[in-house]
Structure 1
Amino acid sequence: MLLAIPVALLAGLVSFFSPCVLPLLPGYLSYASGLSAAQVTAGSRRGRVLAGTALFVLGFALVFVSGGVLFGSLGTTLMQWRGTINVVGGVLAIVLGLVFAGWVPFASRTVRLNLRPRVGLAAAPLLGIVFALGWTPCIGPALQVVLTLALNEATALRGALLALVYALGLGLPFLIAGVALDRFGGTLAFVKRHHRTLQVIGGVLMMAVGVLLLTGGWDVLMGLLRQWAAAFGTVI
């Protein structure tokens, strides 16, 4: 978990900076708060924007955590095939990393549900659920890496924790933007200009996790971390 948690957090951040999330950020905040995109961008009614964004994040976090619980539970049942699961998960992570980096053009098309709940705070959690389900083909590569790690951890609790950390990695930038989108215009413009580079870096990192799972390097790192943690003693 010492290594899996930072990977899950990074996967969430990578998903946020993907082409299907960051460029549409004002639109997400607008729908979640029930305000116009111009009001959100101008920084008006920050309390309402923050509340709507938090409910939106809660909606997609519920979906991701449910998936983490499912994969973690399956991991308990499938522990006897852990080696095979690591190989399959590693290959899948490498392939999805290639897709995320844009190096598999025919697989880079975005498919999403064409559902849109009524705007406003009451609908914000539902919007988050629709986001989690509808944008899965786009954010799916990064999410799949986290679910593979959840399967590897082999408990529902650990799977839920990894999925929650992923949701935080994706959701915290949403919350920051909800509070001060008007102050981060320059930062967002810089990220948009370099989103291709960020996308490639994210894909390479996902492939690196896949290689570790495929070659057994992940288990070696786990062993080293356990030895490192066991070396600590109680300080009196």
Structure 2
Amino acid sequence: MMEDLKQQAERFGTEIRHGYVNKVIFKKQRGANHKIFVDDNRELSAKVIIIATGASAKYLGLESEARLKGGGVSACAVCDGFFYKGQDVAVVGAGDTATEETIYLSKICSHVHMFVRRNEMRASKTMQERVKNIKNVKIHYNTEIEEVLGDNTVGGVRVFNNISNKKQEIAITGLFIAIGHNPNTSVFREYIEMDNAGYILTKGKTTETNIPGVFACGDSQDPIYRQAVTAAGTGCMAALDAESYLASL
């Protein structure tokens, strides 16, 4: 699908370039040219910049976890949960996102293990109560993952209780990490207003940032929904906002 979208954009004259933006210079004056620097040596300037850098899911940092990404390890239950319909899975996390994913998975999976690192959750009391009252959900407090088991696909996890240090292996086919995301916005921090977590702040119901001519869309400014369809929607909004801004000049 992405290749089809790329070809459509190119038919309308879009120039596709590859590289990493590692520096920007944004101007506060309306109508000014902004600069971006790609791979240290290419400088580009434009009156409009749309930031669509997304956010990266946080992972546990285990070698076995990294090896099995796409083979049973996921950071999005809504995206991948249906592949594990009728199977035993696990969720790692203690916040509202973790409880939401656990509730979603409990409706389609046989059994859901929830691993909470502390002796309590960070989720709202309402969400905690909802999870606790689901019959096919088992909450493991003070529990951390030592290793994800399996060769090419997830076959289980080895966990340990961080109080007693007791270890056990639990058979699962899907492992969902729900410990948060990091927005990919650090390169813009000098110029763009953000919240404490690094998500870009936009004005009202628009995609406008505090810098005239710079717009933000998708997960770079959305800490809540983080879905392809919502990101695409704000991408359309950013394009329309950008077009309106250019017309006003």
TM-score norm. by structure 1 comes to: 0.23
Between Structure 1 and Structure 2, the one with more helix by share is 1
Between Structure 1 and Structure 2, the one with more strand by share is 2
The higher-RCO structure (CA 8 Å, 6+ apart) is 1
Tell me which structure has the larger Cα radius of gyration. Answer: 2
